[in-house]
């Protein structure tokens, strides 16, 4: 063993990888070459630029975002030019992925990487799934990710490179979406679920009707751009399938005289404009416990309740009602909920229409749909796609019901800025990369993984321009339905009822728990205010102040104990504030003149900000309990 190889091996953090490299036998040994700098030739291909390997790597690194909370993923080691430059400049984690043991072993004998590999922010992976796990477990709010690679690796692994980089982006995006949900929607979902309970107890769970449509065909209609191209076929075959329609697509179907059997809506905000002016007397609504109360109040033929196991506040509703959520999923998207419902109801063929999951030909949604005015265009100056609208007032009116037009427009602009911040690209059915948003990109992975688990169901995607959804056959709606028989009309009836006495008792337990937590929070709020004043008067970090900070953090930790199921609603109510405070606390390595005031202010902001939320949830719980008749 040469000295360079020994130092590299000793610097590795993975004992299993050490063992594998120590006993590795080459399949095809790379050759060290001298061009305009040291290079490696592997199977006849140079891994670095023949003109200037170092300049090539520097140019690649210059394109990345070198900021705090930016994860650099270096795809391929080669002789380490790009890896070493990245580690030198990185402000956060560097993940080196080298799938080729011939190259890894050979480079370990030639270049000393022990200094880089020994750093706490540097990780080496040879297993792609382990890399994905690391990204999933170490992505935090406001984290960004850059994938850096040499042209030679993109060519050498062209069969998997694009797929793997997309998986990294989707994994990263899924985690950020989860953070976004907790930061922006968890409190609203919690409040809405509690407020809705008296109405939810009048609705029938989808569970009651499992497998009632065995042997039948379901068409799930979404508002993607290709919906317009499928209108005539939908008209032709509407009597040969049961049609599930997501909210934004309903007006398009109604305008074209196409019936809807099931209307699916899960949004927490008031999106009733999606169905404004439409007669729903022959339509069954399917929604989630957290769906906006204006939707639950709609006058429909009947109402079904889909209770997802992977949506926290829906699971809370299941816990207090004793309802099983096994196999029921929403993944935060209405289309997934509709698809999952069709699966649980037993349909033998499920067809997706308008499920483009991408922005096609400049359109974000289909013509005549609720948000048809949104456009996705390539900005020639930045060479990036951007979402815009030709009429911001029209878009604002389609989104919001607030009486103040200026506030509607301001909210619409914030929505546009948000959509542009989460633009992604995904693999299209035609093989090209096409623009989409993070939610759709994440949905593609979720629905593909789910589809692959299903057996004895024919799954068809009719969007022949949109994103590739593995697990579905790509076929036109005409071809998918040409031999279909007329569907059977099934009347869903049930005498199911919830145990309101038990539910009321459990809600009272939640209310008592929330009141106790509120009392603790009020005391902690007073304590941290006194501590803040003391520190401002006397900026000395003494034992007394540190003990007071420690006690406040210990109490905060107890309040947010993830093993305490009696405190679920407290944690859901305060999830956004918890994330902010956690971010502050995890950065503190020692208490000094800079960190101490930040921690005190963070604790003070936490208790000040959660107080009105706790008050509102407690009031809503009290009113809900009063409305439930036993």
- DSSP secondary structure of 534-546: HHHH-----HHHH
| 3-state SS assignment for residue 553 | helix
Return the structure tokens found at 557: 């930790």
Whole-angstrom distance, CA of residue 257 vs CA of residue 125: 56
Report CA-CA distances (Å) from 105 to 27, 91, 127, 161: 11, 28, 15, 21
Contact 108, 8 (CB under 8 A): yes
Tallying the residues shown for the chain, one arrives at 630
Q: Mean per-residue pLDDT for 165-185? A: 65
Instruction: Assess whether pLDDT exceeds 80 at residue 528.
Output: yes
Instruction: Assess whether pLDDT exceeds 70 at residue 468.
Output: yes
Return the structure tokens found at 258: 């196409």
Return the structure tokens found at 5: 């190889």
Report CA-CA distances (Å) from 377 to 95, 359, 373, 390, 575: 33, 9, 13, 12, 35
pLDDT band per the 50, 70, 90 thresholds, residue 206: very high
Query: What is the pLDDT at residue 478?
Result: 95
Percent with pLDDT over 70 in the chain: 92
Query: What is the pLDDT at residue 183?
Result: 64
For the stretch 145-161, pLDDT in tens is 788 899 999 889 888 88
pLDDT band per the 50, 70, 90 thresholds, residue 552: very high
Q: Mean per-residue pLDDT for 434-447? A: 77
Return the structure tokens found at 506: 């459990």
Instruction: Assess whether pLDDT exceeds 70 at residue 368.
Output: no
Q: Write the Ramachandran bin of 121: left for phi over 0, alpha for psi from -120 to 50, otherwise beta.
A: alpha
The listed range with the strongest mean pLDDT (153-162, 194-203, 370-379, 406-415) is 194-203
Q: Mean per-residue pLDDT for 79-93? A: 89
| 3-state SS assignment for residue 348 | coil
User: Mean of the per-residue pLDDT values for the chain?
Assistant: 88
Higher pLDDT, 67 or 586: 586
Whole-angstrom distance, CA of residue 363 vs CA of residue 369: 11
Higher pLDDT, 416 or 324: 324
Q: Mean per-residue pLDDT for 260-279? A: 93
Return the structure tokens found at 392: 């911001």
pLDDT band per the 50, 70, 90 thresholds, residue 517: very high
Nearest CA to 375 out of 126, 385, 383 is that of: 385
Residue 550 phi, psi (nearest 5): -60, -40
Instruction: Assess whether pLDDT exceeds 90 at residue 489.
Output: no
Instruction: Assess whether pLDDT exceeds 90 at residue 530.
Output: yes
* Residue 158: how many other CB atoms lie within 10 Å: 9
Q: Mean per-residue pLDDT for 527-550? A: 92
| 464 Cα distance to chain centroid | 25
Least confident of 242-256, 273-287, 323-337: 323-337
Instruction: Assess whether pLDDT exceeds 60 at residue 179.
Output: no
Whole-angstrom distance, CA of residue 331 vs CA of residue 449: 12
Residue 624 CB partners (closer than 8 Å, separation 6+)? 194, 195, 197, 198, 507
- Would you list the domain boundaries of the chain? 3-158, 195-370+439-481, 500-627
Angle at 126 between CA 123 and CA 127, to 5 degrees: 105
pLDDT band per the 50, 70, 90 thresholds, residue 29: very high
Strands 204-205 and 70-75: unpaired
Q: Mean per-residue pLDDT for 520-530? A: 96
Q: Mean per-residue pLDDT for 509-537? A: 95
Query: What is the pLDDT at residue 630?
Result: 83
Q: Mean per-residue pLDDT for 190-199? A: 96
CATH for 3-158 is: 3.90.190
Beta bridge partners of 425: 435
Angle at 515 between CA 512 and CA 518, to 5 degrees: 150
Higher pLDDT, 177 or 300: 300
Q: Mean per-residue pLDDT for 374-385? A: 74
Percent with pLDDT over 90 in the chain: 58
Whole-angstrom distance, CA of residue 399 vs CA of residue 415: 9
Whole-angstrom distance, CA of residue 115 vs CA of residue 87: 10
| 3-state SS assignment for residue 479 | helix
Architecture of 195-370+439-481 per CATH?
Alpha-Beta Complex (3.90)
Contact 247, 265 (CB under 8 A): yes
Whole-angstrom distance, CA of residue 360 vs CA of residue 436: 9
DSSP tag of 275: G
Return the structure tokens found at 150: 């040499």
pLDDT band per the 50, 70, 90 thresholds, residue 170: low
Q: Mean per-residue pLDDT for 314-321? A: 94
For the stretch 553-591, pLDDT in tens is 999 999 988 767 788 899 999 988 988 898 888 888 889
Query: pTM of the predicted model, to two decimals?
Result: 0.71
Nearest CA to 470 out of 493, 454, 492 is that of: 454
- Burial environment of residue 245 by CB neighbours within 10 A (0 to 12, 13 to 18, 19 or more): buried
Q: Mean per-residue pLDDT for 181-203? A: 89
Higher pLDDT, 193 or 484: 193
| 425 Cα distance to chain centroid | 15
Q: Mean per-residue pLDDT for 454-475? A: 93
Higher pLDDT, 532 or 333: 532
Instruction: Assess whether pLDDT exceeds 70 at residue 303.
Output: yes
* Residue 611: how many other CB atoms lie within 10 Å: 14
Across 455-509, the runs of DSSP E, i.e. the strands, are 458-461, 473-474
Q: Mean per-residue pLDDT for 212-232? A: 94
């Amino acid at each position: 063993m040469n000295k360079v190889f020994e130092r590299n091996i000793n610097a590795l953090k993975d004992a299993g990888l050490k063992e594998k490299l120590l006993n590795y036998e080459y399949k095809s040994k790379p050759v060290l070459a001298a061009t305009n700098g040291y290079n490696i030739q592997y199977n006849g291909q140079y891994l670095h630029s023949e003109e200037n390997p170092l300049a090539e790597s520097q140019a690649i690194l210059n394109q990345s975002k070198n900021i705090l909370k930016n994860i650099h993923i270096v795809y391929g080691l080669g002789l380490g030019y790009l890896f070493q430059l990245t580690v030198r400049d990185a402000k956060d984690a560097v993940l080196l992925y080298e799938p080729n043991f011939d190259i890894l072993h050979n480079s370990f004998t030639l270049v000393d990487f022990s200094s880089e590999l020994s750093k706490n922010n540097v990780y080496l992976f040879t297993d792609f799934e382990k890399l994905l796990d690391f990204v999933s477990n170490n992505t935090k709010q406001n984290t960004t990710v850059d994938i850096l690679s040499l042209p030679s690796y993109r060519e050498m692994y062209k069969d998997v490179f694009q797929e793997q980089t997309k998986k990294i982006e989707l994994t990263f995006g899924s985690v950020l979406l989860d953070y976004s949900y907790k930061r922006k929607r968890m409190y609203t979902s919690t409040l809405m679920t509690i407020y809705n309970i008296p109405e939810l107890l009048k609705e029938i769970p989808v569970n009651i009707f499992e497998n009632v449509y065995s042997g039948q065909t379901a068409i799930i209609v979404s508002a993607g751009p290709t919906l317009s191209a499928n209108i005539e076929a939908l008209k032709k075959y509407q009597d040969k399938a049961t049609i599930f329609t997501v909210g934004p697509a309903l007006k398009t179907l109604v305008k074209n005289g196409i019936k809807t059997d099931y209307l699916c809506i899960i949004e927490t905000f008031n999106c009733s404009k999606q169905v404004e002016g439409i007669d729903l007397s022959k339509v069954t609504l399917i929604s989630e416990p957290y769906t906006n109360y204006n939707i639950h109040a709609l006058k429909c033929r009947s109402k079904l309740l889909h209770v997802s196991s992977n949506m926290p506040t829906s699971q809370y509703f299941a816990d207090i009602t004793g309802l099983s959520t096994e196999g029921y999923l929403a993944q935060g998207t209405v289309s997934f909920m509709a698809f999952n419902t069709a699966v649980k109801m037993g349909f033998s063929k499920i067809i997706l229409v308008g499920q483009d999951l991408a922005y096609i030909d400049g359109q974000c949604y289909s013509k005549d749909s609720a948000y048809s005015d949104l456009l996705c265009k390539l900005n020639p100056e930045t060479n990036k796609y951007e979402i815009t609208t030709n009429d911001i007032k029209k878009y604002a009116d389609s989104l919001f019901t607030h009486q103040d037009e200026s506030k509607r427009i301001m909210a619409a602009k914030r929505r546009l800025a948000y959509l542009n911040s989460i633009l992604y690209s995904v693999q299209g059915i035609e093989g090209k990369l096409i623009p989409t948003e993070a939610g759709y990109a994440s949905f593609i992975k979720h629905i593909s993984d789910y589809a692959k688990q299903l057996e004895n169901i024919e799954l068809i995607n009719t969007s022949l321009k949109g994103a590739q959804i593995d697990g579905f056959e790509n076929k036109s709606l005409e071809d998918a339905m040409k031999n279909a028989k007329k569907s059977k009309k099934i009347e869903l009836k049930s005498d199911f009822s919830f145990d309101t006495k038990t539910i009321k008792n459990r809600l009272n337990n939640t209310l008592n728990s929330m009141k106790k937590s509120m009392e603790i929070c009020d005391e902690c709020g007073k304590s941290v205010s006194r501590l803040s004043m003391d520190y401002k008067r006397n900026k000395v970090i003494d034992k007394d102040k540190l003990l007071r900070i420690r006690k406040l953090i210990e109490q905060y930790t107890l309040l947010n104990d993830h093993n305490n199921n009696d405190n679920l609603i407290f944690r859901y109510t305060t999830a956004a504030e918890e994330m902010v405070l956690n971010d502050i606390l995890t950065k503190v390595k020692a208490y000094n003149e800079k960190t101490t005031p930040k921690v005190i202010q963070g604790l003070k902001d936490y208790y000040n900000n959660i107080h009105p939320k706790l008050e509102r949830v407690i009031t809503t719980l009290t009113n809900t309990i009063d409305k439930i008749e036993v």
